[in-house]
Amino acid sequence: MSDINTNKANTVQFVAVVVVIAALSRLLPHPYNFTPVAAMALFGGAYLRNRSTAWGTTLAAMLLSDVLLHAGYLLGWRAYPGFHALMPLVYLSIAGVTLLGSRLYGRVSAGGVLANTLLGSLIFFIITNFGVFLLAKDLTWARFLQTYIDAIPFFGNTALGDLLYSALLFGSYEWIKQRQTAIGL
């Protein structure tokens, strides 16, 4: 029984470390919206059984990276701050994608990861661009539609980043898990 509990604890620790590393990779130079944010949320949700742990881990990792990004901005190393008006909606998006990931718990498959990655990209796009619309002074249907039209070029980077990072996170985890099983760990 203690081996089972040790394996569960090791899995939680490993997944948490992977999520934090993914969040911290936001500090590296990258094209706009080409980040591991949705992938880390989906990954955390898929492999952390307890939803509170999954949400807490992904949101805490995101907050840590935002603090560091903001510090870089204050020190003049970055052009953009880590903290901004859309943060509540970004975090809501992350929580939603983490919930998507929790639906994969115990039944991760390539098709499930692909579908939920793209759905996560769409959730992020819809929620955060609604926030952009709400920040506009002209709250009309025309402005609403134009907000989403203007955001389409950024969606490509979001989806590509989410797909790449999901493949890296999920693929690496499954590969490591298979290697451990093969050598009897």
pLDDT digits (tens, 9 = 90+) for 153-184: 999 999 999 999 999 999 998 888 888 766 65
Report the predicted TM-score, pTM, of the whole model to 2 decimal places.
0.85
Share of the chain above pLDDT 90, in %: 53
Chain-wide mean pLDDT for the chain? Answer: 87
For the chain, the structural domain boundaries read 2-182
What are 6-14's contacts with CB under 8 Å, separation 24+? Answer: 11/47, 12/48, 12/53
pLDDT digits (tens, 9 = 90+) for 94-116: 999 999 999 999 999 999 999 99
CA dist 49 and 47 (Å) reads 6
Are 124 and 138 within 8 A, CB to CB?
Answer: no
